[in-house]
């Protein structure tokens, strides 16, 4: 059975011909005031990679930077919501998302989608999302420069059972959180930084280099259909500007095992019930 889908992003449209009817529909939200060039690079990459995967694995991927679409009517057309390095800020948008998840919707979040820090442009002002749903609490610190890490995989979950016990990720800026997710019975950690990665980061600030500790980077909340990936920050050539733009030095979706991890998660979210 053939299926014709028109993907519109900004002012450009791409016509994708599917050989089979789509198994599920995905909507990705992005660009809520976030100006980090590495995050912008990741969003552009994601909005190219996911439609390509959709054609191969039979799902439809739409994307929007209009967060007013985060309402019950619009979301009713989608089985999976993705937050690409962003979160909703308005109360009505947040309420619609919580209701969507409470009623069996599915969600995948990347990197900055979990960021919250008081006295910043993205404060800790959404307790349900950061404490109950994600469980991570507020952002505390990060590694720098973006570097790859060896990840320790918990293979006792549908999306990880066919992954290797350990693999080296694509380069990323890794986050540390205020809450210890190991103490939360609702959270199942799927991937964490393996100790062989240390020291992780290159600085120049010493606090941006991790030498020890436990750092979860992918997890799910067992009360919801959700998976969070800390990945989503490409490395950029910040030092050598070319035509006033920064060149992307690494890509999140350029690692076969990590890509499989994301695809496993997305297909699981799109095909399972809470």
Interatomic CA distance for residues 81 and 45, integer angstroms: 17
Interatomic CA distance for residues 269 and 249, integer angstroms: 30
Q: What is the pLDDT of residues 192-233, one digit of tens each?
A: 999 999 999 999 999 999 999 999 999 999 999 999 999 999
Question: pTM score, two decimals?
Answer: 0.91
In order of their start, the domains of the chain are: 3-271 (3.40.50.880)
Answer with the residue of higher pLDDT: 9 or 224. 224
The mean pLDDT value of the chain amounts to: 91
φ and ψ at residue 48, rounded to 5 degrees: -100, -40
**Of 68, 25, 31, the residue nearest 46 (C-alpha):** 31
Q: What is the pLDDT of residues 81-121, one digit of tens each?
A: 999 999 999 999 999 999 999 999 999 999 999 999 999 99
């Amino acid at each position: 059975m053939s299926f014709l889908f028109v993907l519109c992003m900004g002012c450009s449209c791409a016509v994708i011909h599917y050989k089979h009817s789509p198994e599920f529909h995905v909507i990705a939200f992005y660009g809520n005031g976030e100006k980090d060039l590495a995050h912008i690079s990741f969003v552009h990459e994601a909005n190219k990679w996911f439609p390509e995967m959709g054609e191969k694995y039979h799902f439809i991927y739409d994307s929007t930077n209009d967060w007013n679409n985060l309402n019950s009517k619009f979301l009713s057309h989608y089985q999976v919501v993705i937050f690409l390095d962003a979160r909703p800020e308005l109360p009505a948008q947040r309420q619609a998302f919580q209701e969507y998840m409470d009623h069996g919707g599915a969600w995948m979040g990347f990197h900055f989608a979990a960021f919250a820090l008081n006295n910043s442009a993205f404060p800790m002002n959404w307790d349900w999302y950061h404490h109950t749903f994600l469980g991570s609490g507020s952002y505390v610190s990060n590694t720098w420069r973006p570097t790859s890490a060896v990840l320790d995989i918990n293979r006792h979950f549908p999306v990880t059972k066919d992954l290797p016990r350990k693999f080296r990720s694509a380069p990323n800026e890794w986050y540390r959180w205020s809450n210890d997710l190991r103490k939360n019975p609702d959270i199942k950690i799927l991937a964490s930084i393996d100790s062989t990665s240390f020291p992780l980061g290159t600085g120049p600030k010493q606090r941006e280099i991790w030498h020890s500790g436990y750092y979860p980077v992918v997890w799910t909340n067992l009360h919801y259909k959700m998976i969070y990936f800390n990945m989503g920050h490409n490395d950029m050539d910040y030092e050598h500007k070319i035509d006033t733009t920064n060149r992307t030095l690494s890509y999140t979706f350029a690692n076969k095992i990590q890509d499989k991890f994301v695809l496993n998660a997305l297909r699981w979210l799109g095909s399972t019930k809470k």
